[in-house]
Amino acid sequence: MSHYTKYVLSRIGQAVVTVVLVYVVVFVIVTLLPGDPVSGRLNNPEYGYSEDEIREMLVYFKLDRPAWEQLWVALERLAHGDLGLSYASNLPVSTLLWSGIPSTLQLAGTAFVFAVVLAFAIAVGAYFLPNRFGGGLLRAFPSLFLSVPNFFIGLVVINVFSFQLGLFVLSDFRSADALIYPAVTLAVPASAPIAQVLITALDSARAEQYATVAISKGLGRFELLTEHLLPNAALPTSTIAAIIVGDLLGGSIITEAIFGRTGVGTIVEKAVGEQDVPVLQAVVVLAAALFLAINLVVDLVYPVLDPRLRPAVVAK
């Protein structure tokens, strides 16, 4: 087994352990909270649980057992991909989540592509344009975009493009507009940190001696950008881009509520209102797993982007 393979397996193992720890922390927090939302919900006549259903759920969740035994059973089920049953619908949590995950991932993925394209356009434009011809304005865009919250952008987009111009209908979830407009709403603030880091990295690389030597040899600005500056700026930019993906997943929940899209946001909103603890636990663990998976991919791509890191990876 090569050193790089050992490194990959080590990073995967760390990610799995982190997901398990997140699940344990969420379980402990729910257990230590004052009150018992589980028993309270099951015994509430408003929800209409029969005695047989209550008995089955108590047995399934081991609610009559000590907390440590409940945790052990939950971890065993998690190892087999069982996220439990929903208190509200009595359906598997995995079934409920799978009904909303594709829509949320589609929205977050599209928004990420838009954010990267917008950030790249701003950074490259700031690189080529002098400050007096718009370069300074482009450098101010990241701060402006970052200061505007998602919900405000979403409300403006709905008011202008739906109510005023009539370019899309909120109730038509199958059209491309139903995806593009909320994706743009997410992408605008998400592009800000990516653009800021890329601009800073390009400026820093431009000040290095190798860039000065390349320019003295007659290398043009475009060739300098593509052959020297962008490869060196890729590492910090990919790091911040990976962090932004996690923010996009969280922002998708709010944006889905604004645009009336069905997705994980709808499931979370309903679970909070109904005190559906297993669903909320599963959403937290899923978000942590996705975030760790994305960061794991970025860590494994680092040696590809920067050959200087390969000896350090092999040494591990």
Cα–Cα dist 135/155, whole Å = 29
Across 5-19, 204-218, 296-310, least confident range: 296-310
* pLDDT level of residue 129 (50, 70, 90 thresholds): confident
pLDDT at 117: 92
Q: Which residue matches tokens 């004052």? A: 34
| Domain membership flag for residue 23 | no
pLDDT at 288: 81
Cα–Cα dist 283/268, whole Å = 8
* pLDDT level of residue 118 (50, 70, 90 thresholds): very high
**Residue 92 confidence (pLDDT) above 80:** yes
pLDDT at 206: 84
* pLDDT level of residue 171 (50, 70, 90 thresholds): low
Residues 6 or more apart whose CB falls under 8 angstroms from that of 142 comprise 122, 191, 192, 193, 195, 196, 199
**What does 136-157 look like in DSSP terms, one character per residue?**
HHHHHHHHHHHTS-HHHHHHHH
Average pLDDT of the segment spanning 26-42 = 67
Cα–Cα dist 274/283, whole Å = 15
Share of the chain above pLDDT 70, in %: 83
pLDDT at 227: 80
Structurally, the chain folds into a number of domains equal to: 1
SS3 state at 225: helix
Average pLDDT of the segment spanning 147-175 = 72
| Domain membership flag for residue 46 | no
To the nearest 10 degrees (0 to 180), the angle between helices 230-259 and 93-128 is 130
Average pLDDT of the segment spanning 284-292 = 82
| Domain membership flag for residue 45 | no
Query: For residue 133, what are its two tokens?
Result: 């011809």
Across 26-35, 89-98, 220-229, least confident range: 26-35
Average pLDDT of the segment spanning 278-287 = 83
* pLDDT level of residue 36 (50, 70, 90 thresholds): low
| Domain membership flag for residue 57 | no
* pLDDT level of residue 40 (50, 70, 90 thresholds): low
Cα–Cα dist 263/102, whole Å = 8
Average pLDDT of the segment spanning 209-218 = 82
Give me the residues paired with residue 85 across strands.
Answer: 92
**Residue 166 confidence (pLDDT) above 80:** no
pLDDT at 47: 67
Question: 220: domain CATH number?
Answer: 1.10.3720.10
pLDDT at 41: 67
* Cα dihedral 134, 135, 140, 144 sign: positive
Highest mean predicted confidence (pLDDT) among 57-71, 156-170, 173-187, 204-218: 204-218
Contact 183, 107 (CB under 8 A): yes
Rg of the chain over all Cα atoms, to the nearest angstrom: 24
**Residue 151 confidence (pLDDT) above 80:** no
* pTM recorded for the entire structure: 0.76
Cα–Cα dist 249/171, whole Å = 22
SS3 state at 85: strand
Contact 11, 300 (CB under 8 A): yes
| Domain membership flag for residue 121 | yes
State the residue range of the domain holding 196: 94-277
Cα–Cα dist 214/220, whole Å = 9
| Domain membership flag for residue 179 | yes
* pLDDT level of residue 256 (50, 70, 90 thresholds): confident
Cα–Cα dist 274/270, whole Å = 6
| Domain membership flag for residue 157 | yes
**Residue 58 confidence (pLDDT) above 70:** yes
| Domain membership flag for residue 113 | yes
